[in-house]
């Protein structure tokens, strides 16, 4: 899967990196020069062979659905009748971020949990991400991807009834699965979904959340505005320069991960380097930005408020990020979902499968098993 010539060129490009001079090692104006230099040096020394071995140990499938080429990892559950579950990643993630939970969810008996509490996992790459094919020129909304996922699960893999989990962009896709396909989706779990406070009327808690979200967007949301307005322009630099790619993704991983006791991101360095490598060798960073464009430019792309789908929906708000996200009130979630469970944790951040795989696996079993 990893092209040897492309990897040699990557190392050569990393060796020729040119960065602007800076004496600032803080994060106030973006990625610190010293931090980025260390990341680039680690990337240049990264063992691509180990990553290839890890990929070779997985079952990769490819499906064609409505003209869209989809990549997925499939892991059968080690039980007599495992529950089929979709796991959908977000940005700047990939299917790789779910690797830490695969065994926990498919072979719970090997980890001290009840062996019958197993899932069969379907872990697709979003269109335009990694090994999936590119989406249409203007991207796909979360609702459109949900339609692809449903056909993949039912017509492609033969699962008439299944459950689903998603975070970030994946939470949006998963919420639309519940709304559009309630006869097939038995339940969903959303990790830190991007809830939007409606214009009104609103409760005091919703007003406070809306103000916090507005302040966060003004200070931290420039990336999303660029993705949703001029992704092609941004993508030129990210596709041509591994240093730019590492800075754009690395800063968000560092900001959105929960932190360990020593202050470092709870996102393994090798996983970050593997993620950067996946984006680079597949040339998919520009197409990975298109969901933002599609959402902004497609009327009705957001879930309707005060009209929840009937599917039981568990929501977990994971926290502890270096740059905290505004925490939505539970009552706001109840306006969008048929809430079956609500939990808040001070750890996990934006990437709970990476930072807290045991906690996420336990949460999914509690939320989605009968």
For the chain, the structural domain boundaries read: 4-14+28-368
Q: How many CA atoms lie within 13 A of 104 on its CB side?
A: 16
b/e map 274-284, b = 16+ CB within 10 Å? bbbbbbbbbeb
DSSP code at position 327: P
Q: Which two tokens stand for residue 199?
A: 């214009």
Q: Is 85 exposed, middle or buried (0-12, 13-18, 19+ CB in 10 A)?
A: buried
Q: How many CA atoms lie within 13 A of 215 on its CB side?
A: 11
Q: Could you give the 3-state DSSP secondary structure of residue 334?
A: helix
- In this prediction, the residues of the chain whose per-residue pLDDT falls under 70 are 23
Q: Which pLDDT value is given to residue 262?
A: 87
Residues whose CB is less than 8 angstroms from the CB of residue 133 and which lie 6 or more positions away in sequence, other chains included:
68, 69, 70, 127
pLDDT tens-digit map of 293-304: 999 999 999 999
pLDDT tens-digit map of 262-302: 888 999 999 999 999 999 999 999 999 999 999 999 999 99
Q: Which two tokens stand for residue 81?
A: 């009748």
User: What is the reported pTM?
Assistant: 0.96
Q: Which pLDDT value is given to residue 23?
A: 63
pLDDT tens-digit map of 312-345: 999 999 999 999 999 999 999 999 999 999 999 9
Contact 258, 266 (CB under 8 A): yes
CA distance 25 to 35: 7
Could you tell me the CATH superfamily of domain 4-14+28-368? Alpha/Beta hydrolase fold, catalytic domain (3.40.50.1820)
């Amino acid at each position: 899967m990893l092209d040897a010539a492309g990897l040699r060129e990557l190392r050569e490009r990393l060796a020729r990196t040119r960065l602007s001079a800076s004496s600032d090692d803080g994060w106030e104006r973006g990625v610190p020069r010293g931090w980025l230099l260390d990341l680039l040096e680690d990337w240049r020394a990264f063992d691509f062979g180990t990553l290839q071995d890890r990929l070779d140990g997985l079952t990769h499938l490819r499906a064609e659905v409505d003209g869209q080429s989809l990549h997925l990892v499939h892991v059968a559950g080690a039980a007599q009748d495992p529950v089929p579950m979709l796991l959908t990643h977000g940005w700047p993630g990939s299917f790789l971020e779910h690797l830490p939970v695969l065994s926990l969810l498919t072979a719970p008996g090997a980890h001290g949990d009840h062996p019958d509490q197993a899932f069969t996992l379907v872990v697709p790459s979003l269109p335009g991400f990694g090994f999936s094919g590119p989406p249409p020129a203007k991207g796909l909304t979360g609702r459109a991807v949900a339609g692809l996922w449903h056909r993949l699960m039912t017509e492609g893999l033969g699962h008439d009834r299944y459950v689903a989990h998603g975070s970030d962009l994946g939470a949006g896709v998963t919420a639309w699965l519940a709304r559009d396909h309630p006869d097939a989706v038995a339940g969903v779990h959303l990790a830190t979904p991007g809830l939007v406070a409606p214009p009104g009327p609103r409760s005091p808690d919703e007003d406070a959340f809306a103000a916090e979200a507005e302040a966060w967007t003004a200070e931290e949301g420039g990336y999303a505005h660029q993705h949703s307005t001029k992704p092609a322009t941004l993508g030129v630099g990210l596709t041509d320069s591994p240093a730019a790619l590492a800075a754009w993704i690395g800063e968000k991983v560092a900001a959105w991960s929960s932190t360990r006791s020593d202050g470092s991101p709870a996102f393994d360095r090798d996983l970050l380097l593997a993620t950067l490598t996946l984006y680079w060798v597949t040339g998919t960073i520009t197409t990975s930005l298109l969901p933002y464009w599609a959402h902004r430019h497609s009327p009705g792309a957001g879930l309707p408020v005060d009209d929840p789908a009937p599917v039981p929906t568990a929501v977990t708000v994971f926290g502890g990020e270096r740059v905290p996200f505004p925490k939505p009130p539970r009552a706001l979630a109840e306006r969008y979902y048929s809430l079956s469970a609500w939990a808040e944790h001070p750890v996990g951040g934006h990437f709970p499968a990476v930072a807290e795989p045991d906690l996420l696996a336990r949460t999914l079993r509690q939320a989605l098993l009968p």
